[in-house]
């Protein structure tokens, strides 16, 4: 009986000691992992507004025609400058960090300028030009760094406006003709996403336009004066886009 009692007491002591050690164990629960914010997705369509400043050069040549036969030529180049205000729309597709897209825009402008007088004598013909509307259709290709997109852009450009010749041939005859011109545009830009929908951008473009021929009729003593030329415009714009 004594041996049995001793064995029971020993077993009870071992159990109580183990329970005491187990009570002292601290169980640490792992801290919940922080969720990393997802990268900005540039895919989708967007619309926006933009504005900026443009400056460049008009280089033109005039040739007199009498009975359909060309005669004397004269020309000039002069600076033009002014503001742009317009809207754009486009769409992007993102592949990993690469972004491809297309964008079209239309801007009202007051880009204009006037050249020096051309011709002999004290009375000179003064050329001028103004661009009222400037539109482009461009592709975009860039690299996204999360909320920042850096891109290059290029495509087609079109402009409309007016060309003027004041005091034509020194005879006090002021003439104007509608200007239409097509060409190309290329540039670079950067866009920053403010949230899932809004982004701001800054962009530089160079636009090269070739004027359609303009005719000033009944230019004595010839039948008409044909004017051709080129326009180059450096433009800096900022814009705000809303993505869908």
Query: Under the phi-then-psi rule, with left for phi > 0, alpha for psi from -120 to 50, and beta for the rest, what region is 62?
Result: beta
- Model confidence at 22, in pLDDT bands (50, 70, 90)? very low
Distance CA 22, CA 157 (A): 80
Residue 195 counted as domain residue? yes
Q: What is the pLDDT of residues 95-118, one digit of tens each?
A: 999 999 999 999 999 999 999 887
Would you say residue 8 has pLDDT above 80?
Answer: no
Residue 129 counted as domain residue? yes
Residue 233 counted as domain residue? yes
Residue 134 near residue 159, CB atoms below 8 Å: yes
Residue 224 counted as domain residue? yes
Domain coverage including residue 69: 44-243
- Model confidence at 222, in pLDDT bands (50, 70, 90)? confident
Pairing of strands 224-243, 214-217: antiparallel
Would you say residue 152 has pLDDT above 70?
Answer: yes
E-assigned strand segments in the chain: 44-66, 69-95, 98-114, 126-145, 148-168, 173-193, 198-211, 214-217, 224-243
Here the CATH number for the domain that contains residue 234 is 2.40.160
């Amino acid at each position: 009986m004594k041996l049995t009692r001793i064995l029971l007491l020993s077993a009870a002591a071992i159990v109580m000691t183990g329970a005491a050690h187990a009570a002292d164990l601290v169980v640490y629960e792992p801290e919940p992992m922080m969720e990393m914010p997802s990268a900005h997705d540039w895919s989708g369509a967007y619309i926006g507004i933009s504005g900026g400043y443009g400056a460049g050069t008009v280089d033109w040549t005039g040739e007199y025609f009498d009975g359909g036969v060309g005669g004397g030529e004269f020309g000039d180049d002069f600076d033009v400058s002014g503001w742009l205000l317009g809207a754009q729309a486009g769409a992007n597709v993102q592949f990993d960090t690469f972004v491809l897209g297309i964008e079209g825009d239309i801007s009202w402008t007051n880009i204009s300028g006037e050249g020096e007088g051309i011709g002999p004598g004290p009375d000179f013909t003064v050329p001028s030009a103004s661009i009222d509307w400037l539109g482009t259709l461009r592709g975009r290709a860039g690299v996204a760094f999360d909320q920042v997109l850096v891109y290059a852009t290029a495509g087609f450009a079109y402009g409309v406006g007016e060309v003027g010749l004041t005091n034509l041939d020194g005879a006090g005859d002021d003439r104007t003709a509608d200007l239409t011109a097509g060409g190309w545009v290329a540039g670079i830009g950067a866009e920053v996403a403010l949230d899932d929908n809004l982004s701001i951008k800054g962009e530089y473009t160079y636009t090269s336009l070739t004027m359609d021929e303009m005719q000033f009729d009944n230019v004595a003593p010839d039948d008409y004066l044909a004017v051709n030329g080129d326009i180059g415009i450096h433009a800096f714009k900022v814009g705000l886009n809303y993505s869908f």
